[in-house]
Structures are given as structure tokens and as C-alpha cells.
Amino acid sequence: MVGRRERKKAATRRALADAALELFLARGYEDVTVAEIAAAADVSVTTLFNHFPGGKPALVFDEAQARQEALVAAVRDRPADTGLVAALHAHLRRSRALSPPAEPAERERMERFLALVRGNRPVAEAHRAMWASQEVALTAAIAEEPGTDPEAAAALARLVLDGYVHAEGRPDPAAAFDVVMRLLAGGWDAMYL
């Protein structure tokens, strides 16, 4: 049960992230100030920084912590009869970037978001930092598997996440990711199954 205060904080955070993304997509990342984002969300600049200490780049990746937790949960909470690579494949395969929305307007918005991430240096750097954090967390979760070599855990985490980024930029992201994960499954399964 989430309390009223937590719901209000989550709503403010969501409003800030939504306002930022709309402004970034409409006018470009560099042409939007944090003051404009705060005003669009009807909060103070101080409130914006309380929720997003990282400023503008953090607003782009507002779901990073939740995504990291879900990634780790895909490893730790998978059914006993599901392999590690299969669990990661299934989890990441459901992402919006690999399965673009069917509606043209939503698909176009997703493409504009990806262009924002790839085409702006501060955003691209924040994206790399987000992936680095997720790689550390995923490595730790994989390393908890009985008998797993720590180097193998680190390599698998890196390859899964790099494969995901590779697939995002392909004409058919889902098919590209399937290929990456089949390759990884063959190698991992040969070592650990």
C-alpha cells in the first residue's frame, strides 16, 4: 500500500519527466531550461532538483532506477526451470525500444526520443552512465548464480546490454535482439549447463 505522500511525490516526478520530454521533443534539448520544465510541471526549480538532482539529463531517463530493479529481478526471481539468458531475453524483449508501438504517432514519438538520446552529447553521456550502472547491478545479480565465474558474469552482463543497444539501432530491433541472445545463449549454456 502506497501512502498519499508517496503517490504525490511519484505524480510530481512523473509530471516533471513528462513536461521535460515534451519540451525536449518540441524544441530540442539545448533550447529548454530547467526553469521552463519546472514551470510546465507547475513546480519550483528547487522541487525539480529535489526529484532530479542530475538536472536535465536525469529527466530524460527518469525510469532508469525502476528499469535496473526490473532487470535484476529478471535474474533473481525467474522460475527455477528458466535459464539465465532466456530470462534476460524474455525480460528485455518486452521493452518499448525493441517492440515499437503499433500506432504511428507513438512510434514517431519513440523514434524522436531515440534521436534525442543519440544526437545530444549530454544525453548520450547520461545514457552511457545509466547503462554502466545497470551493468554493475546485472553483473552482481548474475554472479550470485551458484558456480558462476565473476569474469563470466561481467562479460555476460556487458554483452546482453551492448546487444540490446545494438538491436535498438537496427531496422528490426526485436529480430536483431533475438539473434544476439541466441548467440549468447549458445555460449553461456555451453559453459554453465
- Taking a C-beta distance cutoff of 8 angstroms, is the pair 170, 100 a contact? no
Cα 49 from Cα 85, distance rounded (Å): 38
Domain limits, CATH 1.10.10.60, in the chain:
4-59
pLDDT at site 129? 87
- The dotted CATH code for 64-192 is 1.10.357
Mean pLDDT of all residues in 173-183: 93
By mean pLDDT, which of 28-37, 73-82, 115-124 is the weakest? Answer: 115-124
Q: For 88-101, how does the pLDDT look when each residue is reduced to its tens digit (9 = 90+)?
A: 999 999 887 787 77
State the amino acid at position 21 in one-letter form. L
Mean pLDDT of all residues in 85-113: 86
Q: 158 or 107, which is more confident?
A: 158
pLDDT at site 193? 60
Residue 169: pLDDT band with limits 50, 70, 90: confident
Q: Which residues contact 7 (CB under 8 A, 6 or more apart)?
A: none
DSSP string, 122-186: HHHHHHHHHHHHHHHHHHHHHHTSTT--HHHHHHHHHHHHHHHHHHHTSSSHHHHHHHHHHHHHH
- The dotted CATH code for 4-59 is 1.10.10.60
